[in-house]
Structure 1
């Protein structure tokens, strides 16, 4: 590899030659990588987990740009990472050593790249400014812009009282969702939970294909009889992100959002909106 003339770079092998046109370094934008802004240090594995447990719930539509990123909100030694596309919500709560305060929205694509780079358990430094955030770890510096705008107040979306609850083995429920999805409409992928204290049934129906019903024998339900329909994909994503042996699902009503959480911990909250079926 060598420079032929000015910005022309030549790469030669035994039987091939490439000439690549470059650009003068003077034209390359100047990037400010100074360590400025609010400083936060945390474990890289905690950040990686938080990204994986929330970023999938961001919106793919650009109509509301703030929803295409993850909201990082720090206050009183607590860091909340929140993502929603208006149909589901993912929230991870972390306890941090630093008593810092900020409320920012980081683009999903940037977070995914950072998550891929993190390979070992170490400390990572974040420097949060008004328009950007700088990540420093393992001799790597990554700077990303922030999404302008105010993230919606999602606290009012999460119900705090629950009249019905179900606990179930995660793998068992995931397998049942996969089987029920086989006969659901690929576009809507809607499945239905019919619950009583004696029986919990997962089902789906497609006019073109047929129907399927499966008794969730490993599920324990408490509350009055309740039926609720929702996206199989959303529930599947939520359970996988929790990555626990057992989950609890908390309901407040037939057409009210319901929550999926780890059976023993409450630092991850997944919320899914039901779908009205006729």
Structure 2
């Protein structure tokens, strides 16, 4: 078995079915299995997935394990030499699984890989980024960026500054389309992905471990293409999700993989950057400033 495609579902039956249909319609030239992990959905009986897609393997969790926990459950039942974590709110445009699989196998130094992730209007989403860092915050505060040529900014900052037309190595990728080998997984503690977080920030944590602890590359490749509905699997507003889950989890990751001191000064410079450069509202600044209190407990 070449690739195990793992899709976590939680109350998004039709969205997940659209994703599954695109996988079976567009994937060829590579042996694969599809594992759907239902995270204790209340919307429908998950057995309905089997009636529509009899070739899938359905894993029913008795509780909502979150994104990382659900994926680890799917991985436990997988057989592929390569694993693909695929968001339920994605649609494959081309033979993305095979193209990504070939790229991953072309370089043994690639730890994990993502593809062209597009909005419905075909504009790219900023799926490749740099690690949160004090250095980045200070560069922004001091306005050093304006002295750097545009193309250097693109490859230095990545995120939504990069054009996503050429292959590029970065620091971390979104978990939307997250491909890696079982050999890499076997180098993680207990041979499973970190599942400290219920959702958001786990992809950053995985990539930090892959890049800093395993010394492997985190890569974007443009040829495989998918649509991402970007929020169909979680209808809360982005800023609410960022504040509740993502930002605190980023800080926790820095504390574990860097140090408490580094994480503290990251948050401090982050607040200054938001105050001096971004001009965030008092409510937003108050929230970010409150994150500093956790370092004094």
TM range (shorter): under 0.3
TM-score, normalising length from structure 1?
A: 0.25
Determine which structure has the larger strand proportion and give its number.
1
**What TM-score, normalized to structure 2?**
0.24
User: Which structure has the larger Rg?
Assistant: 1
Greater fraction helix: 2
